[in-house]
Amino acid sequence: MTPHTLKIEQITKISLILFISSLFFPIRHVFFTNSAYLTGAYSDFTSFSLYLSDIFLFITWWGVLISRGGARNFFHHVVKNIKWLFFWLILAFLWHYRENSTLNWYFLLKYAELIVAYGTIATIFKDKSLFKPFFWLFSALTFFQSIFAIWQFVIQKSIGLKLLGEQVLNPNILGVAKIVSGGTKLIRGYGTFPHPNLLAAFLLFGIFITIYLLINTSKKWQIFLLNIMVFVNILGLCVTFSRAGYFALGVGLILFFSHIFWNLTKDNQKINLSAWMPIFVVLISILTSFFIFRPYILTRATITDQATIERSQYNNIGLEMIKDKPIFGIGIGDSVLHMEQYIGQKLEPWQKQPIHNYFLLSAAELGIPGALILIWIFLSHLYRLVASIKYQVLSQKSLN
């Protein structure tokens, strides 16, 4: 490796760290074009933004491109894995070409960015030595986001991190995600994310990554720190009041620990205290969270609240769009603009939001084939993950 290539590799790793960090702090510049007001008022869903993460992704991609021999090899790796998504995006875009707007061009660009991000990250993490530093970085970032979310819920307003991407939060602002407890509106924890559900998704991954680190360390100071991080992250997930987050955490923990103990008992290994410790920490964290936030959590134990009703309405709109245009969809990024057409009633600007199910949303905008391609990508990667875990288990057995 030449000194020039080594320098580019170092720049690439630094920009990767900055890229991952910037995902947690959505700093952006909004272009206030006419499209931003197509819903009747300003909407993030129809506006154009340049994020700090976009810039760091470009730098990281450039570093990978230069240090690994040029565009041909790099893009072959990208297209090989998700080429059908790329093909269908172009086909759907061309199908709507006569009616395409700047909004369609923007969302096509964001899909292209997703493909570039996929290829860039997959290429970089072929270097297995980067896994552990990445896990620690991700866990630390989710830990701080949990603190921010808990703080927001306690004081019931923004905490002053606007420069880091924090939303303007107040229980009386329309469009801010809330729960209602005892007749009082309470904002949910956002951290610096655009919505609590998005924060919940990141915290969910952060919890499992932190548990993984906890299981695979023997240093006392790391064990102490990771226990605190697990505890705080579960508290943070709790104040997002994301029902999907709660459900995914429960199912994930059952599968995660069942896999660990199944392998231990199958090999007749003695289950020692270190194997039980993560379970104790998780259970204590969940019980403590429920004890502290019980009255508020119980408000989510219903399917008749306003949030559930609205979610159902959005999903029904999506189904109507799919019935109307099942093959090529309504157009990339256009579903929000046609909601009134398919619900048959006037909506307030803040009510015009994306369909609250990603696969329904993709089917409505890209058609059923586009949604099936995305589902196939998800399942194929899940299959490869399971196969990789099995391979590691078998390899460990052979070594023992």
Distance between CA atoms of 158 and 149, rounded to whole angstroms? 10
Split at pLDDT 50, 70, 90, the class of 321 is very high
Q: What pLDDT is recorded for position 83? A: 82
- Mind listing the pLDDT tens digit for each residue in 249-281? 988 888 877 776 676 666 555 555 556 777 888
Q: How far apart are CA 293 and CA 239, in angstroms?
A: 8
C-alpha to C-alpha distances, 344 to 313, 330, 333, 338, 341, nearest whole angstrom: 11, 17, 20, 10, 6
User: What does 92-142 look like in DSSP terms, one character per residue?
Assistant: HHHHTGGG--HHHHHHHHHHHHHHHHHHHHHHHTTSGGGHHHHHHHHHHHH
- On whether the CB atoms of residues 319 and 360 are closer than 8 A, the answer is yes
pLDDT value at 55 more than 60: yes
Q: How far is 264 from 393, CA to CA, in rounded Å?
A: 11
User: What's the chain's average pLDDT?
Assistant: 85
Q: Is the pLDDT of residue 298 over 80?
A: yes
Question: What is the average per-residue pLDDT within 40-52?
Answer: 89
Alpha helices in 298-332 (DSSP H): 306-324
pLDDT of residue 294: 87
pLDDT over 80 at 74, yes or no: no
| The pLDDT value given to residue 32 | 87
Backbone angles phi, psi at 332, to 5 degrees: -65, 120
> Which residues sit opposite 239 in a β-bridge?
none
Rounded to whole angstroms, how far apart are CA atoms 289 and 48?
Answer: 38
77 vs 80: CA distance, rounded Å: 5
pLDDT band at 363 (very low <50, low <70, confident <90, very high): very high
Indicate the pTM of the whole model.
Answer: 0.86
Give, as one character, the DSSP assignment of residue 337: G
The region, left, alpha or beta by phi > 0 then psi within -120 to 50, assigned to residue 59 is: alpha
Q: Per residue, what are the HEC states of 11-70?
A: HHHHHHHHHHHHHHCCCEEEECCHHHHCCCCCCHHHCEEEEHHHHHHHHHHHHHHHHCCC
Q: Please report the pLDDT score of residue 137 as a whole number.
A: 94
Angstrom CA distances, 197 to 34, 190, 214, 248, stand at 28, 8, 26, 12
pLDDT at 144: 96
Q: What is the reported pLDDT for 396?
A: 55
Which of 20-29, 84-93, 384-393 comes out lowest in average pLDDT?
384-393
User: CA 356, CA 315: separation in Å to the nearest integer?
Assistant: 6
Per-residue pLDDT, 399: 55
Q: 199 — phi, psi (to 5°)?
A: -60, -40
- Asked whether residue 172 carries a pLDDT value surpassing 80, the answer given is yes
> Using CA atoms, how far apart are residues 109 and 92, in angstroms rounded to an integer?
14
Q: What is the pLDDT of residue 265?
A: 63
Q: Is the pLDDT of residue 1 over 70?
A: no
Confidence of residue 384 (pLDDT cuts 50, 70, 90): confident
Q: Is the pLDDT confidence value at 307 over 80?
A: no
